[in-house]
């Protein structure tokens, strides 16, 4: 089985604060790796280090066996790292199609070619019927799908999803879970930061748990979330 992403001994410091401390993981091609932990655990920082948005003090990142540790984010994106962000930032004055078209130019110079990629991305996430609407008209669930379409329009090999399901109602959540599982059937790999345990359990093949920048547990999702140290990290301990 080919390893799509390998991170070794990732350490990130902000001044004297160690935000991520010596964390390693692997993500097989076509797999889904879940990254969970309480607020402030260092999840997004680790996520940003892997994608080149945050500099590492120590460690190494390999992308399909190529060392990309010192590559900037834009170069990693060209190689096939696509991502979403915690807060969706659509170009509200542009149409849904135009929003997906912009990232499609990453690999396509001609507008006609980029438009084909953008339309396919919108079809994949179920937004093709909204293509000519202003992005400002979309509700939360559709905005999340638009963010996913924008990432897919860069033709990623590994998709990094930062709380893509936060705030979704049960039907929208179920639809997003089905959509993401379908993407991995094409060989796409996914690393997801997520707080919704239903999504983690249903989607993740393997889970990492961070607390205060440290990896405190990893393994199969159902087993990991029941571990005492994981429960303690989320809920704290009884002081009495």
Name the CATH code of domain 1-80+156-240 (choices 3.90.226.10, 3.40.50.300, 3.40.50.720, 3.40.1350.10): 3.40.50.300
Provide the token pair at 115: 């438009």
The CA distance from 40 to 210, in Å, is 9
The CA distance from 202 to 69, in Å, is 31
pLDDT digits (tens, 9 = 90+) for 58-93: 999 999 999 999 999 999 999 999 999 888 889 999
- The sign of the CA dihedral 88, 94, 95, 98 is negative
Q: Report which of 6, 51, 34 is spatially closest to residue 208, judged by C-alpha positions.
A: 34
Task: Please identify every stretch of the chain with a pLDDT value under 50, giving residue numbers as ranges.
Answer: 238-240
CB 35 within 8 A of CB 61: no
Q: Quote helix, strand, coil % in the chain, to nearest 5.
A: 40, 25, 35
Which residues on neighbouring strands pair with residue 28, listed in sequence order? 3
The CA distance from 207 to 54, in Å, is 22
Q: pTM value?
A: 0.92
What region does 162 belong to: left with phi over 0, alpha with psi -120 to 50, or beta? beta
Tally of CB atoms within 10 A around 74: 11
The CA distance from 204 to 168, in Å, is 18
Instruction: For the chain, give every domain's residue range.
Output: 1-80+156-240, 88-154
Which pLDDT score is estimated for 238? 46
Q: Report which of 37, 41, 7 is spatially closest to residue 24, judged by C-alpha positions.
A: 7
The CA distance from 24 to 10, in Å, is 6
């Amino acid at each position: 089985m080919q390893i799509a992403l390998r991170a070794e001994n990732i350490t990130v410091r902000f001044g004297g604060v160690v935000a991520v401390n010596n964390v390693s993981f692997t993500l097989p091609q076509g797999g889904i790796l879940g990254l969970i932990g309480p607020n402030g655990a260092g999840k997004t920082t680790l996520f940003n280090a892997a994608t080149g948005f945050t500099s590492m003090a120590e460690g190494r990142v390999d992308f399909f066996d190529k060392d990309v540790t010192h590559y900037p984010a834009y170069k990693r994106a060209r190689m096939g790292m696509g991502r979403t962000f915690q807060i969706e930032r659509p170009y509200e004055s542009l149409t849904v199609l135009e929003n997906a078209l912009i990232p499609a130019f990453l690999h396509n110079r001609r507008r006609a070619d980029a438009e084909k990629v953008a339309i396919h991305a919108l079809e994949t996430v179920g937004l093709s019927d909204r293509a000519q609407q202003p992005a400002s008209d979309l509700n939360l669930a559709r905005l999340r799908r638009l963010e996913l379409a924008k990432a897919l329009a860069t033709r990623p090999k590994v998709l990094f999803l930062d709380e893509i399901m936060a705030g979704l109602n049960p039907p929208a959540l179920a639809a997003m879970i089905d959509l993401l599982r379908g993407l991995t059937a094409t060989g796409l790999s996914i690393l997801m930061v997520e707080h919704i345990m239903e999504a983690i359990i249903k989607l993740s093949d393997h889970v990492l748990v961070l607390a205060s920048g440290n990896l405190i547990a990893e393994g199969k999702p159902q087993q990991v979330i029941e571990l005492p140290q994981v429960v303690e990290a989320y809920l704290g301990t009884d002081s009495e």
